[in-house]
Amino acid sequence: MDCLKPHGLKTDLYELTMAQVYLERGKTERAVFSLYVRKLPEVRNFLVAGGVKRVLDLIGEFRFSKDQLRYLKSLNLFKDWFLDWLEQFEFRGNIYAIPDGRIVFNEEPILQVEADLPSAQILETFVMNAVHLETLLNSKAARIYSVAGGKILVDFGCRRAHGFEAANAAAKAALTCGWNATSNLEAGMLYNLPVSGTMAHSYVMVFGEEEAFREFYRHYPQNAVYLIDTYDVLEAAKLVVGLSKEGYKPLGVRIDSGDIPKLVVEVRRLLDAEGLKDVKIIVSGGVDEYKIAEWRGLPIDGFGVGTRYVTSADKPYLDIAYKLVEYAGEPKFKLSEGKKTYPFKKQVFRFYSNGRMDYDFVTLYGEEAEGEPLVELVLKEGRPVKDLGDWKVARERFLSDFERLPEGLKGLEKVPYEVQIDARLEPENYLPKPRGE
């Protein structure tokens, strides 16, 4: 909520101090920066690209207002000609990207920025933050979806996401990656997402269970899910049976605490015995993909998934980088161990075998190959080349990729996927030859 518009100050100080030096020293030739994940976390077999559409939607507002320029001037670091340059700034470069919803792996450039060096540099923090957040959340949402095996998944995480911006991103990521709904109303309105919800313990405590359920049904007969763990789950389940006979039959019941494996079996048996086979059992409270896997085979129809999803709790960040790979036509790279970078603007080709992804091949952009190219030019000279579509389109991309994902990568065990790097990208090729040779 505490965010400024336009977005130019969504950056680190050093982006601007460096840009001033670049400009003053004429380092304004074409640069390419590549935004990618160096290494997949141990607890992810694949990632799902995200944040590209958001970058495209917001990049026109990556500018600097008079107030913001006045603030920058007050830092006593910037010269007037540079502040003028910032005042005139709008991004007029190119962006190459792998669209939201596509499954990606390490070393694959989700976003590549091509522009004069200062322009490409000052975008760094902004595009990293946007792509990191949505790729992180998409990847976690997809992992949960993958393990849930078709069960209902609803995002309950709004209250413990890292701010409402993150909460909204999480709701969108959930729906992008196959989930059914979110409880977050602002995200529902912003992105046109399906919303759903049940009731809280406070509500049950105020009315008492019987009246709470009855009243809820009276108001929301199409959407009633009764929360049955405020006092005694089995007693509440019996109450649900009684109410159902009176005509207050809910869509489902929710259990938010207790010994879940034991409770769901008993509640299911109780409901089934009374002909309530279609009353669903929803479980929430500390749910994540590990719990879902542990509870596989139990009579659970769906999950409310909150905190551990929206914070990507088992791995709350990705090893994402924004690296200079080309300047003035020359390859740029780092050789440091574990942080080696490959030079040049890149394309990724995906190869399939029997309808499943077989391996990916990272090569120079502009090369031809048999496989499916993943990288597209999405912004040309500051203008969108095509509409990437909303979350529904991203969801189609995700579901289509997910279908073709090797079965082994869909589980919780670590399974590698082959990403080949074109030998011509090896930085060693571009080292100056030792003297005397």
- Kindly tell me which residue out of 53, 268, 323, 395 binds its own copies, with binding defined by CB under 8 A: 323
Rounded Cα gap, residues 221 and 323, in angstroms: 55
284 binds its own copies (CB under 8 A): no
- Kindly tell me which residue out of 313, 364, 415, 431 binds its own copies, with binding defined by CB under 8 A: 313
4 binds its own copies (CB under 8 A): yes
- Kindly tell me which residue out of 84, 90, 206, 381 binds its own copies, with binding defined by CB under 8 A: 206
Q: Tokens 């009353």 belong to which residue?
A: 279
Closest alpha carbon to 117 in 20, 11, 12: 20
> Whole-number minimum distance, CB 168 to its own copies, in Å?
5
Residues 39-68 binding its own copies (CB under 8 A) are: 54, 58, 68
Residue type, 38: R
DSSP-assigned beta bridge partners for residue 34: 112, 323
> Whole-number minimum distance, CB 173 to its own copies, in Å?
11
Quick check: 437 and 125 in contact, CB under 8 A? no
Residues 175-204 binding its own copies (CB under 8 A) are: 183-186, 188-190, 195-203
3-state secondary structure of 201: helix
Q: Which stretch binds its own copies (CB under 8 A): 89-97, 108-116, 166-174, 294-302?
A: 166-174
Q: Which stretch binds its own copies (CB under 8 A): 120-128, 240-248, 365-373, 387-395?
A: 120-128
11 binds its own copies (CB under 8 A): yes
Cα angle 67, 71, 77; round to 5 = 140
167 binds its own copies (CB under 8 A): yes
Rounded to 10 deg, the angle between the 391-404 and 124-148 helix axes is 60
Quick check: 136 and 317 in contact, CB under 8 A? yes
Q: Which is nearer to its own copies, 138 or 349 (CB)?
A: 138
Q: Which is nearer to its own copies, 2 or 413 (CB)?
A: 2
Q: Are strands 346-353 and 356-364 parallel, antiparallel or unpaired?
A: antiparallel
Quick check: 103 and 401 in contact, CB under 8 A? yes
> Whole-number minimum distance, CB 114 to its own copies, in Å?
14
Rounded Cα gap, residues 277 and 287, in angstroms: 24
161 binds its own copies (CB under 8 A): yes
Residues 359-378 binding its own copies (CB under 8 A) are: none
